Every structure is written in structure tokens, then in C-alpha cells.
Structure 1
């Protein structure tokens, strides 16, 4: 089966009982075996199969799951150290699998953070407890006076950015080839443009692109795949594209066109002609 014409066909999934069967074959199997009801539209490995409709309603189960775990601990009169270990090692781990694939609505993130904060500040099961500091402060690193808990929304984006980075690092992996055929066939993951009716998984992954671009820079190497005016390759923090000295004549210019491959050095004449004067020393430092 293919999700798009340019995507590779997928014949099976990871487990023996997880298969993709076309509709005609499925009906034939049902008729042969006398199967009356089909499964599906529930959850698979803890993730809803159907991602349509209200995302707040869809992911409300996460708070219920988290509260169920917390309520099992509240009667144990845990110390602050015990609560810290449980929050970091168990509560946040409950969310990691879902947040690696989907962008949670801010409302859900706030509800989850509130539930964790309530568990942290409550002195005993019957009392709510006073919140002596903002949760943002508690999520700061220890060297900055915090406890080192995770901000749910930022943690969600970081996990999705990791998925996007894997598409960049491993372009020949099966998932990268499937997504490339569907969403960025003639481009790269970090340059993918808007598409019609994207899946929520792809919408979630692309939501982390801005975060990823803050801390990455394209290595020049030959420069054939780096766009001078679009890709972040100037060595700054964050990295950015080169700035043009004159109105851009060739928007598709690659960095390779600024290199003299006989001398293996930058072409000073072309740099002076096209690139902003302030960018030239930084470019020449990329020896």
C-alpha cells in the first residue's frame, strides 16, 4: 500500500499481527472466516487510532491517566524527594510516547502541568496545598533555583523536533521516504511548504521546525545542497542565511557557486558582488 504515488509501498508493519490489508482482501478474509465485526477506531499502543475532531477531547485521556497514577500515590505521604523522583521518572514518562508523535493543545498541557503541580505542593491527600512558586520557576534548572521539572509544551516540541531531525539525518529510512513522497517530494524536511490536508502527525512534526532551526546550521562541504539565501549556514547563534548586497537575482543560488573549486577557496570576487559586506568575514572563516 502507498500513502502517495511517490512514497514507497508498505507491505507490513512491525508485528506479525499488525498488517495493512486492502479493502477487497479484507472483505474476502471476513467472508471466508465468517468474521462479522471489525476492530479499530480505538487505541493502538496507547495512542488513539482516529485523530479527527477536537484535539482537546481526543487527548483528555492523558490527564485521566496521569490523575489515576497520582491518586494511587497521594495516600503514601511521600517526601519531596520521593515526589520529585516519581514526577521525573514516571509521570512525565507517561506522556512521552504520545508527545513524540502529536502536538498537544495548550489547554491539555496546562491541565497536565496543573495536575503535576497539585501533586507536588499538596501536603497530604486531603489538602490542596499552597503553591509557593510559579510552575515555570519549578521547571528551571537547579543552578537557576528550580527543581528541573519539564515544561509540558516545550517538552512536547522538543520531542517532535527530535522526530524532524531524524528525517534530516536518516533520509533513506522507511518513515522518511514515506513522508517525503507525501509532503516534500522535491524539497527537504526543513524546507517543506504548506500542503493540502496534511495528517495531524505531519502538522505536529512541522510545528517543531522553528525550534529546530534555532540551534542548527548547515555544514558547507561542497555547498551543492545549500541555498545561499534560504538555508541557515552563516555561523551565528542562531544561524541564518546570507544577506544579499543587491536585490537577489538568483533566488536558487547555492553556496557551491561561491566557491572556486580549483583553488578550494571562496571566490572573493563573487562574495563582493553578491553578499552583504558584514557576512563576508564570517563566510571566509568557514575554511
Structure 2
């Protein structure tokens, strides 16, 4: 599949351009254009953004297309000045926005969702493949506790880049303690004790 670069997303950006073409904007009201944007953004980039990390340049290009489509005059090629930023439009109506999805946050959420599936459903086929290839096949918990996860496929790297979205809010139930890893697990949101031990070893003694 190659490196996850801006060029790889060209086909997706072209599809978005086609969905938000100028001639369509001419015949739609502002509300109609807004609905078209919501529909297009819910369908076109979702698959790719759910398994790949979108570059900043990709998100900026998509947002530029959205602005041009939304603020265009109905029956002319003239563009209006953007009256509100894409980021502010991402708020719900109660917060002064219109409910557009923030693409960068959606991308992060997709990555966190994959990590959560590995933690909560480690027996599914794709989770077992990832587990066998990159982690300890007998223990699914390292996906959230490994200090320095190995590099791998672009999908795996995408997951690892956003795993803190999940691990930041995960807690453990001790029960009989058999599955607890005292040194590798994070306690009370703090770094694992193993990391603290490494830091202490690095401090020179007087």
C-alpha cells in the first residue's frame, strides 16, 4: 500500500470535489448545501479515515473544498466570505455550531475505536492477528500498557498513534489479581511502575 502520504489520498479528495461540485451548489440553498456536506462527509472518507491516519494536508484540503461549496453564491461563480470557521461549525446547535464533524477528531476517534476493540474483544480474528504479530499472543493487555510498541503496518501504526485516547480512561478490576501486572500496568492514571523504576535507575547516585 506504500507510505501514508498526501498523494495516497488524492482519489478520496477527487471524490469529495465531485460530490461538492460547483454546479450542484448553484441549485441548493444554504441549508441544502449544509445537508449535502453532512451526507458526503458521512460516507466518502469514513472507510479510509477508520484505518489510516489522515495527514494535516489532507484535512486542510477537504476543509477548503467544504468552505468553497458552502459559501458559494447560488447562481454565480463568486465566492462569499466564510462567516464561521469549520471548527466552530463542528459544535452542536446548542453550542453555536451546525453539527458538522471535525475530521481530525473523527480520525482520532476511529483509531481509538480500533484500540478499544483489541482490548475488549481480543478473540476476534483481526485482533488475534495483530496480537500474534506485534505483541504477546498470550496476553492482550499490552496493547494499552506497552511502553514502546513496535512499528508495523500503517494500520497498526495508526492505532498506536491514538491509543492514549482509550488507555487514558481505562481502569482495571483486580478480582483475584491473576491478570494484574504490577510493574507494567498503569495505576491511578500514572505511568507504569516499570517506567518509574527505569527513571530511578537513570538518576545518578551521590
TM-score tier after normalising by the smaller chain length: 0.7 to 0.9
Higher helix content, 1 or 2: 2
- Partner in structure 2 of residue 89 of structure 1: 39
By how many angstroms is 1:248 displaced? 5.7
- Partner in structure 2 of residue 9 of structure 1: none
* Secondary structure of residue in 2 paired with 1:131: coil
Runs of 4+ in 1 over 6 A off after TM superposition: none
* Secondary structure of residue in 2 paired with 1:110: helix
Counterpart selection for 2:96 from 135, 145, 150: 145
TM-score norm. by structure 1 comes to 0.59
Q: Which moved more, 1:208-217 or 1:140-149?
A: 208-217
Query: In 1, Cα distance between the equivalents of 2:100 and 2:109?
Result: 14
TM-score norm. by structure 2 comes to 0.80
- In the TM superposition, what are the counterparts of 1:187-206 in structure 2 within 5 Å? 188-192=142-146, 193-196=148-151, 198-206=152-160
- Partner in structure 1 of residue 11 of structure 2: 61
Considering only aligned residues, what root-mean-square deviation do their CA atoms show, in Å?
2.6
Query: In 2, Cα distance between the equivalents of 1:142 and 1:101?
Result: 29
Contact 1:218 1:232 in 2 (8 A): no
Q: Residues 233 and 118 (structure 1 numbering): CA distance in 2 closer, same or farther, change over 3 Å? A: farther
Structure 1: give runs of 5+ residues left out of the alignment: 1-49, 235-239, 250-287
Q: Tell me the number of residue pairs that the alignment of Structure 1 and Structure 2 aligns.
A: 191
- Partner in structure 1 of residue 168 of structure 2: 214
Contact 1:229 1:242 in 2 (8 A): no
Question: Is 2:73 the partner of 1:123?
Answer: yes
By how many angstroms is 1:207 displaced? 1.1
Q: Which moved more, 1:198-207 or 1:214-223?
A: 214-223
Contact 1:102 1:200 in 2 (8 A): yes
By how many angstroms is 1:223 displaced? 3.5
Contact 2:118 2:127 in 1 (8 A): yes
Question: Is 2:49 the partner of 1:104?
Answer: no
By how many angstroms is 1:141 displaced? 2.1
By how many angstroms is 1:67 displaced? 0.3
